[in-house]
Structure 1
């Protein structure tokens, strides 16, 4: 190790492929159709960048940004958006601090995408109930063979 700079200078970060993003989006929409709901669904890569998005006709317009932010939150932190409140607990400072952060979502519908234990992205679904949103996101993970 060099005393003046840490080694290595660059690291490899895996991200979800464009092809896998399409599979995930289509699986989430297919599940929504089975449930009879209309959703917006977004996939973010492991850096939180938008990798793909689909909006079903008639899905709530306000849910577009919510779906994108759910994917961003799940990818950025590597756990379900639904788990945020469990982690914060009764810490009022954390509740106030996190609620002031733009793009952070603390309710269900956003899941990390992991393959072989490696975080490659996140998926966010919005437009139905919290349980239905998460169901659609889980269908996307299943279509990818992701954890």
Structure 2
């Protein structure tokens, strides 16, 4: 049987150091886990809701989805009666799309243009044809993101405040687009 060689002092020191490191890591891990458990066992007290006073609040009016759909359909139908293919968008008071309809045969650019006209009309609470005329005095208006200063958008108001915008695009002229947008808005007052 071959004789075993005794490990060198260096090997024994390294092996002992490694063993000590493993034991130390186990102790530290156990202590850390115990600390985490004690923290988790103490639930945080949830903050009570804070009630705002009436003087700190405003009320807003929004167009319903049914009303927006009715307005969009009326605008598309008005255009179809004239043999026009358009897209119609109705946005809420914040400019977020509620309904967008792309009429049969409407051009691909009309969808985005209708949304931008609606956004512009509700943002300024004015028909986009009027806003397009204002560009002569303030040409930088057209640089505002999401806007389109071409005729075809009309605001919808309640008690004088804008609650929605209707935009139409795709007819041969902005005047026609705006006429169809106004036809959509008109059904809301009935």
| TM-score tier (shorter) | 0.7 to 0.9
Structure 2 gap ranges (5+):
1-53
Q: Among 87, 99, 112, which residue is 2:142 paired with?
A: 99
1:109 matched to which residue of 2? 152
Q: Among 90, 94, 102, which residue is 1:47 paired with?
A: 94
Q: Among 144, 149, 163, which residue is 1:120 paired with?
A: 163
2:186 aligned with 1:142, yes or no?
A: yes
SS at match of 1:53: strand
- Asked if the contact 2:150/2:174 (under 8 Å) is kept, the reply is yes
- Asked if the contact 1:73/1:105 (under 8 Å) is kept, the reply is yes
SS at match of 1:22: helix
- Cα distance in 2, alignment partners of residues 82 and 59 from structure 1: 21
Moved over 6 A (4+): none
1:115-141: CA deviation from partner (whole Å, max 9, x where unpaired): 343321100000002121111111111
Which structure shows the bigger proportion of residues in helix conformation? 2
SS at match of 2:134: helix
- Asked if the contact 2:132/2:151 (under 8 Å) is kept, the reply is no
SS at match of 2:56: coil
2:51 aligned with 1:22, yes or no?
A: no
Give the TM-score, by structure 2 length: 0.67
1:34 matched to which residue of 2? 81
Root-mean-square deviation (Å): 1.9
Query: Of the two structures, which has the highest relative contact order with CA contacts closer than 8 Å and spacing of 6 or more?
Result: 1
SS at match of 1:8: helix
Structure with max Cα Rg? 2
Give the TM-score, by structure 1 length: 0.85
Aligned residue pair count: 137
Which structure shows the bigger proportion of residues in strand conformation? 1
